[in-house]
Structure 1
Amino acid sequence: MKFQIIKEDTTGTKARVAKINTHHGDIETPVFMPVGTRATVKTMTPRVLREVGTQILLGNTYHLAVRPGEQLIRDMGGLHKFMAWDGPILTDSGGFQAFSLTKLRKLTKNGVTFRSHIDGAIFEFTPERVMEIEKCLGSDIVMPLDHCIGWPCTKEEAKQAAQTSIDWLKRSKDYELSAHQNLFGIIQGSGYSDLREWCAEEMVKLDLPGYAIGGLAVGETKDVMQEMIEHTNKVLPVEKPRYLMGVGTPVDLIQAISRGVDMFDCVMPTRNARGGGFFTWEGKKQIRNSRYARDESPLDDKCSCYTCTTFSRSYLHHLFSKKVEEILGLSMLTLHNIHFYHDFTKNIRQAIMENRFQSFMSNFLDTYQGT
C-alpha cells in the first residue's frame, strides 16, 4: 500500500488531500466508507454503490466469522468475489463488538470469548485468530483486535485498555498476512490526552502502513472527541493515513478533517435512512413528517443522486407511511444518504485543492442544522 499526500490545506488547518494505492484500486481522501457489516451495505447493490461514488467498503470480522464463516468466504474466492465488490475493502476486527456485546463476551489478556448473538455458539478471538479470519476474508486493510472502552471510565481502566491494545497489536503484527494486506494500529486512551499520545507513540514504533483512532463516539462529548483527535494526530506520522473509526455526523467529519483525519466509517447514513432520516446541506430531516405529504420538491435540491432527480418528498413520504412501508423507500433514502456523504467529502477535497477549505468549513457549519 502506498500513501501520497496530494495537497495540504494552506488556510490554517491540518486538512489534506491524499491518495491511497491498494491492490484493489486507489482511494482519494478524505474518504467516507459505507459499512457493509455482513458483506452487504443494507438495501444497496455493488453497482449502485459504485454509481454514487463509493471508493472503499467496510466489513466486520466478528459478524462474518459468525455467519457465514470465514472458511466458506475463503472457499468462495474471498470477500471481494463473495460480495461482488472489486474495489478496496477494510475489515474491522471485532474489538467494537467486545465493547457493544458486553453481556455476550468475556475479555482476558489473551483475547475475547464471544457467545454468538445468533445461536449461542462460542467464538474465541485472540489477536492471532482475528488475523487468521481476516486473511481468509482477503481484505485490503486489516484492523487488529483491540480493547475499546466506553466513557466515562477511570484513567486506570483507560490505561489498561490501551496497554492491552498495544500488546495485541504486537502479536497481530507477528502474524503473516497475505502480501496485499495492510495492518493498521488502533489508538486507544479514552478521553485522556496523555494516554492517547502515549498509545500512539508506542504503536508508531511498530512502523505500520496506517493508524486508526478508536474508542471515540462511545459516550464522550463532541469537544472531548475532537480534543482526543487533535492530541493523537500530533503524534501520528504525517506520511501515513489516519482513520477515525465509527464517526460520524457531517459536522464530526469536517471538524476531524480540519485536524488531519483522512478516513471515516459510520452506519449513520444507512441506519438513519432505514428510519426515515435523510441528510441535506441544511441538516438532517425526517421524511415521515406530515409536512412532506404534499411536498413536490426532492430530498435536497442541491443533490444530483437518482433519488433526488426522480422522486418527490411526497412520494417518499408515502413509501414510509405506516400503512405502506415499502422497501423502495429504504433503498432510495439509503442511496441518497450515501451519495450525500460522498458528495460532501468530494466537495471538501475540492475545497482543499483550491485553498478555500477554511471558508468552506465556516460556511457549512453556519448553515448546517445539527451536530
Structure 2
Amino acid sequence: MTTGNTATIKRSAGTITRSAGTTRRGFISSLAVVSAAGPLAAACGGAAGSVRKTSTLRYQGWTGQVTLPELAADLGYLGEVKLEWVGNTISGPQDVQSAATGQVDFGGAFNGAVVKLQEAGAPITSVIGYYGSDKQTYTGFFVLDDSPIRTPRDLIGKKVGMNTLGGHSQAVQDLHLRRNGLASGDIGKVESLAVPPVTMEQSLRQGRLDVAALSGIFRDKAIATGGVRTLFKDIDFLGEFTAGSYVFRDDFVKRNPDTVRAFTAGVAKTIEWSRQRPRAEVVARMTAVLRRRGRNENADALQYWRSWGVASKGGVMGDREFDTWRAWLEDVGQIRKGRVKARDLYTNKFNPYAGGGSKG
C-alpha cells in the first residue's frame, strides 16, 4: 500500500508550504490525512500483523540533526536492536502517520498531534517522551530587530513560519493568541506557513516571513548570529514540559515487546547520559554520528545543541503532557469532549525509570 508520504520525505529544503487554513481549523486540516489514517491503518494492519518478530526498526530521520534513537544506537544502548533509516522528514504529524500505517516502525511527534491521531482511531501508543521545552531548549517566535511587530494583535495579517502545520508551533501560537484575547476571526488572519527548519532563519532574514518559530539548534544559531529578537516563547505561559513522544503501532508492540522495551530503555538511558555528560562531549558525539552516516549534511548547527528539553527523568510520561493539548483541542471543538483520556494514550511500562505502566 502506498501513500503520499514519499513526497513529504523528499521535499526540497527550500520549500515553503502555505497553510490550507490559518485558523484553529487549519490545525486540524493539516492533520486531515493523519486522521484519515484510522481506517487506512486498520487496512494495513493485516499485512503488518503477519510480519514476524523483528529486532530491526525502520525510521525516518531529520536533515542536519541526530535523533535520540540514533545517538542511543551509537552509544550501544539499544543492545541487539538495529535501526534502518528509510528517509528524512520535517514533520512530526507525518512521522507518526507513517508509523500508524506501518511504513516505519516508530515515529515521533508533538503530543497534540498524537492526541488527534489516537482520537481518530489510530492503533498507536506513546512509549517515551523525547523532546520538550525548558530554559535551555524552547520554541521561540522571533522577528527581526527592526520589525514593527510587538504585540499578539500585531500578528494579524502577518506570515509566521514553522516546521510543520498542525504541530507544536502552531498549537502554541494559537494558545498564545487566544490567551491574549484575539477572537477566532482575527486568529484566522495570521498566516501560518510550513518551512523546513534548515531554511527558516534565512527566510526570516530575507523578508519571506514576518515571524519564525525556532527551537533547538536552529533557534540558538539565529540568536548567535544576531539581528533578531524574541516575540514570545512557549515556556512563558506553559512552563517547562515534555512536548512530544515516540509511538509504536499496538500490533507491533504486541509482536515485539522485547524490541520495544530495548528501544525505550536505550532512549531513556541516552536522555540521562546527555544530562550527565558535558555539553561539548554530547555535541562531539552527535557530530561524529552525523558525519559517519554519509547523508551529505552540514553538521555546523549541532554546535548550538543545549538539551533535549525532556522534563522528566528518562522521558517518563505523565497525564499533563497530553492533557494540555487534549483540553485545547476540546475547547476549540476539534475533538469531542470526553472522547480521549490521557492515561489511555501512553505507557511507561517499557521505561526502566518508571515505577509502573499506565496502559496495558
**What is the TM-score normalised by the length of structure 1?**
0.24
Structure with larger Rg:
1
Instruction: Between the two structures, name the one with larger relative contact order (CA 8 Å, sep ≥ 6).
Output: 2
